[in-house]
Amino acid sequence: MILNGKELSEKRLAIVKSEIEKTGLKPCLATVIVGEDPASQLYVRMKHNACGKVGIRSVGVELPGDSTTEDVVSAVEKLNSDPAVHGILVQLPLPKEIDTEKVIESVIPEKDVDGFHPLNNGRLFSGRPDFVPCTPGGIMTILREYEIDPAGKKAVVIGRSVDVGRPMAALLINADATVTVCHSKTQNLAEETSKADILISAIGRARFVGPEMVKKGAVVIDVGTNHDENGKLCGDVDFEKVEPIASAITPVPGGVGPMTIATLMENTLESARRHANL
């Protein structure tokens, strides 16, 4: 079974649009981008396009590549104090000269629709999540919509990043899965992954996960966005070889990526609802 994130994202975006029309809310998402990295600019455009589809107003703050940490924090603080802005997204990665943690912490938790603020991370890990990071949140929506219940299952997450791997593990624990997190220092990686009922890869290595790493009948979620030696877009999973083994699998493209943006829209709407006490 192909877990079609593109189709599902359209369904979720339609729900967001309907809710906005029904409630009369005027949600607003502000993005902050530093420099002219083409990939970052593309991702920001995609987020603004999604806002336009569902009726969320979007504001873009563009800062030059030589901006200081203080410059970025100042821009964020202006958005924090603007009552018309409900969600703030700082596009990562930031230039290496900028203190990324300081910038993330400058976004007030109530507008942290990316779910990266330490307070929101703490709520997630305590089992009482508020805003969760959009990629793990989108994955949980995929599992729920396709009626894949993690409860009692063995889940393995490859990757321990703060934006995907760690919050993904926390969400799966909250959903009563038994979770193992693997990373670059894990020994006998294939032995660990081949035990997984649900296998999630978020390491950014093209076609790294082969059939020998996957248990027959496993659910495989591919977070990777890579390019192979021929420049072709692909995931972390060798899709053609793993699909016959898996009971369900996300493609790249068209899997997790669209759900990340849909979840961002959902988080922004939820923030607007809270600001309006709805």
Closest by CA to 40, choosing from 20, 60, 58, 56, is 60
pLDDT tens column, 188-219: 999 999 999 999 999 999 999 999 999 999 99
Reading the block at residue 247, the tokens are 């009971």
pLDDT at 229: 85
pLDDT at residue 45 greater than cutoff 90: yes
CA dist 180 and 152 (Å) reads 13
Helix (H, G, I), strand (E, B) or coil at 26: coil
Positions marked active-site: 47, 91, 114
* DSSP single-letter state for residue 209: B
pLDDT confidence tier of residue 259, bands split at 50, 70 and 90: very high
pLDDT tens column, 73-84: 999 999 999 999
pLDDT at 228: 86
Asked whether the CA dihedral 92, 100, 13, 124 is positive or negative, the reply is positive
CA dist 27 and 5 (Å) reads 24
How far, CA to CA in Å, does 259 sit from each of 8, 24, 208, 225, 268? 7, 24, 22, 14, 14
* Predicted TM-score of the model (pTM): 0.95
pLDDT at 238: 96
How far, CA to CA in Å, does 9 sit from each of 23, 55, 256, 265? 21, 15, 9, 10
pLDDT confidence tier of residue 114, bands split at 50, 70 and 90: very high
pLDDT at 231: 85
Angle in degrees, 0-180, between the axes of helices 134-145 and 5-23, rounded to the nearest 10: 100
pLDDT tens column, 68-108: 999 999 999 999 999 999 999 999 999 999 999 999 999 99
Per-residue burial over 97-127, b if 16 or more Cβ lie within 10 Å, else e, is ebebeebbbbbebbbbbbbbbeebbebbbee
